[in-house]
Structure 1
Amino acid sequence: MPGWIRAYVRVVERVNYVVGRVAMYILFVMMGILLWSSISKAFTLPSIWTLEMAQFAMVAYYMLGGPYSLQLDSNVRMDLLYHRWSDRTRAWVDAFSVFALLFYLGVLLYGAVESTAYSLEYAERSPTAWRPYLAPIKIIMCLGIFMMLLQAIAFFFRDVAKIRGEEI
């Protein structure tokens, strides 16, 4: 494989690794928010921001952690025949099926960018009592989808290398 493909795969996987490891700690942020919600409901007036902020933390957690999960091959796969195939046959199937993932992620990213642009242009706010701006979480969603797209392309390059008998 050309050097630029090897460099691309290394950089994308390194970035997704670092972002994914950092995103793991967002779960603790969400737990803290929900703990505060429980405490405030029991001892003081309930906070109006906790539920929605926990939802935003959860979205950030799975959108930024998704590419890392894909990188670790911990995604769910329908495995009726897959485990019986050789590594090269798996690479052929993966190299072919990744195009469905790329199409899906491309459409998802297009919609996310459109929604984020709308949110930024019109200062879109949530229709709840707290009324936070939605642009920050939409930007995080766009970033997560884009990183997943880059990781899927890196997987395609890895599969092509495996078909050729090489390793990246």
Structure 2
Amino acid sequence: MMQRYVRLVDRMNRWIGRVVMYGIFVMMGILLWSSISKTFFLPSLWTLEMAQFAMVAYYILGGPYAIQMGSNVRMDLLYGEWSDRRKAQIDAITVLFLITYLVFLLWGGWDSFAYSLRYGGERSPTAWRPYLWPIKAIMLLGIFLMLLQAISELFKDILRLMGHDMGPKDTDEAETHEGTA
């Protein structure tokens, strides 16, 4: 059951992450238009805030893929020398803190999203005044996907401790190894 969950969540977040990574070009296009419009035309009101929204979507929807690929920052002073079993033990403990954090973040995000919808659509206080519920919905989705991925990482660590080959824990090898996950 855990292996099936890991395969499903990893496949979904890998696909989403690989699609979302092209969001950098969306941001570049928005900022390029901003520069062109400020230089040759009337400045656009929407460009800076839209670039910020695109950056939030890029960052939050790419987070689960980064977790999956092991792209997070780690204190490698001791970790690099540990056995795969020891790494799995420590990671299983630390991922519980991440899961707890993400649950609280999801809870608060849901309250903020509901508030945004409840009062006729919360709007940004800028001159453009876009509705905020779409970016809050994207943030909720990203946090939810990160929570699913964190649970997947916990399951991988548990399966490693049970003796299953879940692929290498090393980040350099993980990108090229599909594993049994």
What residue identity is the alignment partner of 2:133? A
- Identity level (%): 65
Deviations 1:138-161 (A, max 9, x none): 000000000000000000110011
Q: Which residue of 2 aligns with 1:19?
A: 16
Q: Tell me the TM-score normalised to structure 2 length.
A: 0.90
User: Stretches of 4+ moved more than 6 A in 1?
Assistant: none
Q: Which residue of 2 aligns with 1:99?
A: 96
What residue identity is the alignment partner of 1:135? W
Instruction: Point out where structure 2 has 5 or more consecutive residues left out of the alignment.
Output: 166-180
Q: Please report how far the alpha carbon of residue 120 of structure 1 lies from its aligned counterpart in structure 2 after TM superposition.
A: 1.2
Which residue of 79, 82, 86 maps to 2:79? 82
Distance 2:94 2:73 in 1: 14
Q: Which residue of 2 aligns with 1:61?
A: 58
Distance 2:25 2:103 in 1: 31
Q: Please report how far the alpha carbon of residue 109 of structure 1 lies from its aligned counterpart in structure 2 after TM superposition.
A: 0.7
Q: Please report how far the alpha carbon of residue 164 of structure 1 lies from its aligned counterpart in structure 2 after TM superposition.
A: 1.1
Distance 2:103 2:25 in 1: 31
**2:36 pairs with 1:39:** yes
* Residue-pair matches, total: 165
Q: Which residue of 1 aligns with 2:124?
A: 126
Q: Please report how far the alpha carbon of residue 18 of structure 1 lies from its aligned counterpart in structure 2 after TM superposition.
A: 0.7
Q: Which residue of 2 aligns with 1:144?
A: 142
Distance 2:131 2:156 in 1: 40
Distance 1:40 1:158 in 2: 49
Q: Which residue of 2 aligns with 1:156?
A: 154
Instruction: Point out where structure 1 has 5 or more consecutive residues left out of the alignment.
Output: none
What residue identity is the alignment partner of 1:96? I
- Report the aligned-residue RMSD: 0.7
**2:13 pairs with 1:8:** no
Q: Tell me the TM-score normalised to structure 1 length.
A: 0.96
73-82 or 56-65, which deviates more: 73-82
Q: Please report how far the alpha carbon of residue 121 of structure 1 lies from its aligned counterpart in structure 2 after TM superposition.
A: 1.2
